[in-house]
Amino acid sequence: MKSPLSINPKQEANKVIFFLKKTFKEQKINKAVLGLSGGIDSTVVLYLLKKVLPLQSIFVVQMDYNPRKELDIDLKGINTINVPIKKIIDEFEVADKIRFGNIMARVRMIILFDLAKQLNALVCGTENKSERLLGYFTRFGDAASDIEPLSHLYKTQVRQLAGYLEVPKNIINQSPTAGLWDGQTDEKEFGFTYKEADQVLYLINDPTFAKASAGKRSQDINLIKKEFKNAEKIISRMKKNQFKLKTPYFLK
Q: How far is the C-alpha of 40 from the C-alpha of 155, rounded, in Å?
A: 9
Q: How far is the C-alpha of 247 from the C-alpha of 252, rounded, in Å?
A: 13
Question: Could you tell me the residue range of the domain that residue 216 belongs to?
Answer: 187-245
| Pair (171, 197) in one structural domain | no
Q: How far is the C-alpha of 219 from the C-alpha of 189, rounded, in Å?
A: 29
Q: How far is the C-alpha of 63 from the C-alpha of 34, rounded, in Å?
A: 11
How many structural domains compose the chain? 2
In SS3 terms, 219-241 reads as HHHHHHHHHCCCHHHHHHHHHHC
> What is the model's pTM?
0.92
Q: How far is the C-alpha of 101 from the C-alpha of 65, rounded, in Å?
A: 11
The CATH number assigned to the domain holding 64 equals 3.40.50.620
Angle at CA of residue 206, ends 158 and 212, nearest 5°? 170
| Pair (84, 150) in one structural domain | yes
Per-residue pLDDT of the chain (252 residues; tens, 9 = 90+): 468 899 999 999 999 999 999 999 999 999 999 999 999 999 999 999 999 999 999 999 999 998 776 788 989 999 999 999 999 999 999 999 999 999 999 999 999 999 999 999 999 999 999 999 999 999 999 999 999 999 999 999 999 999 999 999 999 998 877 666 666 778 888 989 999 999 999 998 876 665 554 556 666 788 888 889 999 999 999 999 999 999 899 998
251 within some domain: no
